[in-house]
Chain A
Amino acid sequence: MFSSTTFDILHQRDVMLLFLQGLGVTLQLFACSAVGAFLLGAILASLHFVGRVPSLLVQVFVGYHRNVPAIVQFMVWYFGIPQLFPQSWTGWTDEHLTGFFFAVVALTLNAAAYISEDLRSGFRAVPNGQYEAARALGLSYVTTLRRVLMPQAVRASLPALINQAVSLFKATSLAMAIGVAEMMYIARQVDGATYATFASYLVPTVLYLACTLSLMACGEWLQNRLATR
């Protein structure tokens, strides 16, 4: 267990390079999904103001993503959805719709559902007069939303959004279940190949903590900067 060999892999360049590649894939998954989830979340949150039917549809979307385990959502996308494609597409889909693609789709939709709820409660924190004043000044509905309401809603829900970002970063680890070679997948591979079990899981632990703790620290800094002056 703590034989001299377990930490040997830490000095092996190719093993450490593998881990760094895994970290790269994790960061890519996170970056793509974070951008997509925030945009989609903002759109979904705004849809609540449009009318009753869109609002209801958003609630169904949010209900599905909040009450079903993320890993099951991954499976529905990766194993289930390709079943709907016609046979003739098979060549193209196998080439272009990889595990990485479906992982990003699943992560984006999942995080968007949570983010839209956070923004929605952020909107509730913005006084009604803000909307009325902006409209009275002649700003269009979309401009009001984008320049007046959204910034304030984001500020109000910032702590929750930071939490979502950390959760999303952690959720990228689920992509290993559909064969994406991110950090956890690499850890399993290294463990299987070298039997240096302890070190194989120690490295991703340190890397994950470095990333998530910096995310939390950035969040703190942002919050202090955006604090209503």
Chain B
Amino acid sequence: MLDILDRFGLSLLIGQAPHGPLGGIALTLLMSLAALMLAFPLAILVALARGSAWKPVRRVAAVYVYVIRGIPLLLLIFWAYFVLPLMTGFDAPASVTVVAALIVYEAAFLGEAIRGAIAALPAGQMEASRALGLGYWRTVRHVILPQALFNCLPSIVNQFIMIVKDTSLAYIVGAHEATFAATQINAQLLTQPLQVYLILAGIYFVLCYALSQLSKLLERRVTLRRNRPVAQAPLTEASA
């Protein structure tokens, strides 16, 4: 194991980075972060559309969420990698198409998580804000989302763990991330598949386990914050 790490550790970490394309764990993380950042605004839109007052908007959002939840990510990656270039004539590298597929896929799951957090807020929040004369969008921006997004921080981190794991599928269409790097190393060694793949599993484990601990920590923080006593308005002369 150690000798494999010694020989191939760098290529697992960054692929052929200085001389060739970035790969390995660095690319895995880069793809995951890009997918999370770009899926996030889309997920908020999905969450709002699912709770929209307009029936057609709700319908469209529901169809989107159910279709995406109903197909394997691998199929979506194939759509993005094999079919889209034919339709648009636009040829993107494998890693970019996989990130695109991940964005579409994760927006549905993340959107459902955010929708749950919005639904869990007391209805009085929306009502009070509208009663104070704030419009729908200002209410969403300044009252609803800050609270809802804070409350679902743990599930956002959990979604990120899912994304990190899901990027491993990119090796099937030939993106040079960590799993692809490991298959390359295995092809060079030929005699030690178990060691190579256990090292790969170990790398993912360390990454995702650390993230899951972060998620637990955030969970505790959110719970503390939620159960904080509400500040009492000071009694004024007039009301006394």
Q: Which residues of A contact B (CB under 8 A)?
A: 1, 63-64, 66-73, 75-76, 79-81, 83-84, 166, 170-174, 176-177, 184, 187-188, 191, 197-198, 201, 204-205, 208-209, 212-213, 216
Contact of B133 with A by CB under 8 A: no
- Supplied contacts A75-B200, A83-B194, A201-B75, 17 more A-B pairs, CB within 8 Å: A1-B86, A1-B87, A68-B201, A71-B169, A71-B179, A72-B200, A76-B194, A76-B201, A80-B195, A80-B197, A166-B70, A170-B72, A173-B74, A174-B74, A184-B75, A198-B87, A213-B66
CB distance from A19 to the nearest CB of B (A): 13
B70 and A184 form a contact (CB under 8 A)? no
Residues of B within 8 A of A171 (CB): 72
Contact indicator A184/B208 (Cβ below 8 Å): no
16 inter-chain pairs at a CB distance below 8 angstroms, sorted by A residue, are: A67-B209, A67-B212, A68-B165, A68-B201, A68-B204, A69-B166, A72-B200, A75-B183, A80-B196, A170-B73, A184-B74, A184-B75, A198-B86, A201-B83, A209-B71, A212-B71
A166, B69: Cβ atoms closer than 8 Å: yes
In this complex, the interface size class of chain B, counting residues with CB under 8 Å from chain A, is: 35 or more
What is the CA–CA distance of A144 and B180 in the complex, to the nearest angstrom?
A: 49
Instruction: Determine whether the beta carbon of A197 is less than 8 Å from that of B86.
Output: yes
The chain B residue sitting closest to A163, CB to CB, is: B69
In the complex, the answer to whether B194 meets A184 with C-beta atoms within 8 Å is no
Chain A contact residues: helix, strand, loop or mixed:
helix
Q: B187-206 toward A: CB 8 Å interface, digit per residue (1/0)?
A: 00000111111101100110
B196: chain A residues at CB < 8 Å are: 80
- A213→B70 contact, CB < 8 A: yes
Cβ–Cβ contact A176 & B74, under 8 A: yes
